[in-house]
């Protein structure tokens, strides 16, 4: 167990941010999944329409269990929509379906952020997996106050940074998918102005969960860099 009170403040702030963002996305989704769209199309039909209009014919759409489990799988080229989105005829369902199609379009058009993010996954998994061991070893060696501790501190923080980078590059990928979603819903005439506003609220709330994750990761990274004495000034 680790006893620095500041560590628990950082962890606590991160958890509070994430819980708040998750609560917001759930409540916003609940609200806008009650509001029907004029088109009467299900999320799956909206997705199919946008895919076809974008000239993408090799992506399959299937339902997936759970709530807010929607995702695009680039390996299998499968768009998985949670049941309330797949069969839902609401502003929330259309917005989320269009967002996931946004990822399929990013994949088909070779979006640079998405490419980098996909390539970075194994790096972040490996770096994140061993970072805490190296950070603990650095702490035991006295951090930057000793030569060996200093080297381990830099290595540990660099390894942790691979996961922070992952959460940061997720942001442009997600923002771009939502921007595309709203633009295609509007251009395709699938939603009216008021309905688009509802879809945007749901997508903005979802974006907050990614922002919370990135902020938490960045905060934790700064904590370790500071605590291990990498910013200088700490000589104990
Ligand atoms: Zn997304």
Question: How does pLDDT run across 161-186, given as a tens digit for each residue?
Answer: 999 999 999 999 999 999 999 999 99
- Per-residue model confidence as pLDDT tens digits over 51-70: 999 999 999 999 999 988 99
Q: What is the pLDDT of residue 231?
A: 87
Which residues does the annotation mark as catalytic? Answer: 100
Amino acid 193: pLDDT: 86
pLDDT (tens digit per residue) in 192-234: 888 999 999 999 999 999 999 999 999 999 999 999 999 875 4
Query: What's the rounded Cα separation, in Å, for the pair 86 and 69?
Result: 11
Q: Give residue 23 CA to ligand 1 midpoint distance, Å.
A: 18
Q: Which pLDDT belongs to residue 2? A: 67
Instruction: Give per-residue burial for 69-85: e unless 16+ CB within 10 Å, then b.
Output: ebebbbeeeebbbbebb
Complete DSSP assignment for 3-71: --HHHHHHHHHHHHHHHHHHHHHHHHHHHHTSSB-TT---HHHHHHHHHHHTT--S-EEEEESSSS--E
> What is the Å distance from ligand 1's center to 178 Cα?
7
Distance from Cα 9 to the centre of ligand 1, integer Å: 29
CA of 179 to the centre of ligand 1 (A): 11
Tokens of 119: 């390539």
Residue 233 confidence (pLDDT): 57
| Helical (H) or strand (E) element with 158 | helix 147-187
Total-model pTM: 0.91
Instruction: Please enumerate in sequence order all residues whose Cβ is within 8 A of that of 157, keeping only pairs 6 or more positions apart, or say none.
Output: 131, 135, 221, 224, 225, 228, 230
């Amino acid at each position: 167990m680790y006893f620095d009170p500041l560590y628990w403040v950082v962890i606590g702030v991160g958890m509070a941010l994430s819980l708040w963002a998750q609560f917001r996305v759930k409540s916003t989704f609940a609200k806008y999944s009650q509001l029907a769209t004029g088109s009467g199309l299900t999320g799956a039909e909206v997705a199919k329409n946008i895919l076809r209009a974008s000239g993408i014919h090799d992506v399959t759409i299937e339902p997936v269990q759970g709530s807010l489990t929607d995702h695009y799988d680039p390996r299998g080229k499968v768009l998985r929509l949670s049941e309330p989105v797949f069969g839902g005829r609401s502003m929330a369902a259309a917005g989320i379906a269009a967002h996931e199609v946004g990822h399929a379009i990013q994949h088909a058009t070779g979006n640079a952020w998405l490419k980098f993010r996909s390539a970075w996954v194994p790096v972040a998994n490996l770096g994140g997996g061993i970072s805490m061991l190296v950070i603990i070893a650095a702490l035991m060696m006295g951090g930057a106050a000793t030569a060996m501790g200093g080297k381990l501190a830099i290595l540990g923080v660099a390894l942790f940074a691979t996961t922070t980078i992952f959460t940061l590059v997720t942001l442009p990928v997600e923002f771009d998918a939502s921007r595309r979603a709203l633009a295609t819903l509007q251009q395709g005439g699938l939603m009216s102005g008021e309905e688009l506003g509802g879809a945007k609220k749901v997508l903005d709330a979802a974006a907050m969960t990614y922002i919370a994750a990135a902020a938490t990761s960045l905060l934790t990274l700064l904590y370790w860099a500071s605590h291990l004495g990498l910013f200088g000034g700490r000589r104990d």
